[in-house]
Chain A
Amino acid sequence: MRPFTGLFVRHAAGCVMCALFDTAKVQQSALRSHLLSRTHKVARAAASDGAVVLVAPSARAVVAMATKNECKAVLRTARTPAQAGTLSRYDGATPCPSAPDASHVEALPCLSLRLDTVACFSCRAASPSAAESGNVHEAREPRRCTNRSWFTVPTQKLKQNNKTWFFPDAFVRTPSVIASTEPPAGAPAPSSATLPLRLFLGATGADVNGRGRGANDSGGSSSSGRPGEQLTTSEASSASQSGALLRTFPFAETLSDLHWTAQAVVDNFVFFPPDAGRWGSDDGFGGGAAASDVRARGSNPQWLLFCALQSAVGALFQSALKHLRGCDLMIVRRLAVGGYRPQHSDGGGAAGGGL
């Protein structure tokens, strides 16, 4: 294993990252000065033992193992237009995104991450909390920013020369809450992946923002869920509607907290490999094989995993139901299977979405 040096060569931009100081060096002289500085030596000594083995200052720094010669070689070489273009995107003078859905720069390896930064895309300021952001907005003079729609975004800190700036990363962006969900008249329907996550999951605002369990506890078949997707059983509650386990399991709020977009969900859990077929290829979003292409499905390991899981779970459920039907109902109620909650007064205590 290579020794830890605190340096990482970012070939895409033709620069050198220092994981210990969250900084990028683009010139040989700057790198030399940085490496000779006492602060870098002290930080490097603190991050490694005498044998230059990483003591683990943080997980992000484990890849910072570039040698001085490698770094010098990169900075000595003239940058290609692609490298220069990539590097320019991280210049502090570059116009920053003006909206959560606008183009963001990609995350840089080795730089520390702040996942809970509150950002105002109107005045382009970042704060560690909403309260702090509120204070800044109130105090900023001479012109106050009147925007109060702040977003929790991940940011990275980058020091360049004497300036420190925070930039929001491309991933885990919050979908725009003001984006229209209705296509214009005559326009083709948008891909579901472009919808806000809340609508993509079919959850109500309460499910996502108000923590779904509370909403499910309220009971009633019309409080959430999409029309036409309610079970016809008389005991149907919001938790036992379509989605069942997916509803009782807090996927919606977890994905929301992680700032996954609908597109991210599709990208991560798509059954079929991209560019394997026509599905979704028209709109440019993560395409895949046509669902009717049984040969493509039969050779896709992800689809086979799902098929096997579905078959296995079906057998398990049938077996469990067979045993359950043989039990006395009073025993079933005492088992408190799934969503049975004694505080429900509607007599539907045995109903629920759990197991």
Chain B
Amino acid sequence: MNVNLGDPAVERYAHDAALLLYVSVRVAALAGRSDVERLADGRCVPTLVPDNVLLAGQVQTEITKAVEDATDEIETSGRGGARNRGGDDPSARIGDFVDGQRLFLAPVSTLLHGLCHEEYDPRPTAGASRPRRRWTSAW
């Protein structure tokens, strides 16, 4: 990160980092599917390191709890609540509310750190064993 960056640039970094985190949480969720679901869906995803899979699961769990709390809170407080950065957009207000939940922030921070040190091994794991015999077949 360049220390000379201004706030708008930091927001841009934050947006990209949020995308990275979002994709990682989704990848971890998709990778947890059974073989049947994966074949039915027709796509495979890279495998994250186990620590990051665990953290992604925590993020997913905490967001579910926090969103429920935030929805209740916002419905209770109405539009005139203290947190009203998003105007009429409830998702921005919910996002702000969830941001204040320590149980959500902690795994997000750790997951971001973990992803910065993530290394992929893109070699396929399924069907990786090759037969000893030469095989070539027309289909």
Contact = CB atoms under 8 A, between A and B. Distances in A.
Interface in A301-333: 301-318, 320-321, 324-325, 327, 329, 332
A316 B139 CA distance: 54
B66 interface: yes
Contact of B92 (A251, A301, A302, A307): A307
A254 B5 contact: no
Contacts of A321: 1, 3, 5, 10
Interface in B101-127: 104-105, 108-109, 112, 115-116, 118, 120, 122, 124, 126-127
B42 A165 contact: no
B105 A312 contact: yes
B40 to A, nearest CB: 8
Contacts of B115: 249
Given A63-B35, A107-B42, A308-B99, A123 B138 contact: yes
B4 interface: yes
Nearest to B130: A128
A314 B91 contact: no
A297 B112 contact: no
Given A106-B42, A233-B4, A250 B120 contact: yes
Interface residues of B, number: 71
Nearest to B5: A233
Contacts of B45: 258, 268
Contacts of A315: 99, 105
Contact of A317 (B14, B44, B105, B136): B14
Nearest to B115: A249
Contact of A125 (B120, B128, B139): B139
Interface in A135-177: 136, 154-155, 164-172
Interface in B2-52: 2-5, 7, 9-23, 25-26, 30, 35-36, 39, 41-46
Contacts of A108: 39
Interface string A325-355: 1010100100001100000000000111011
A246 B116 CA distance: 11
Given A233-B9, A312-B98, A125 B23 contact: no
A324 B127 contact: no
Given A60-B35, A258-B46, A308-B98, 13 more contacts: A126-B136, A128-B135, A165-B138, A167-B139, A244-B12, A258-B44, A268-B26, A297-B90, A302-B26, A304-B98, A314-B14, A318-B10, A321-B5
14 contacts: A59-B35, A60-B35, A60-B126, A107-B42, A126-B137, A171-B43, A171-B44, A245-B116, A246-B16, A254-B46, A258-B46, A268-B26, A269-B22, A317-B1
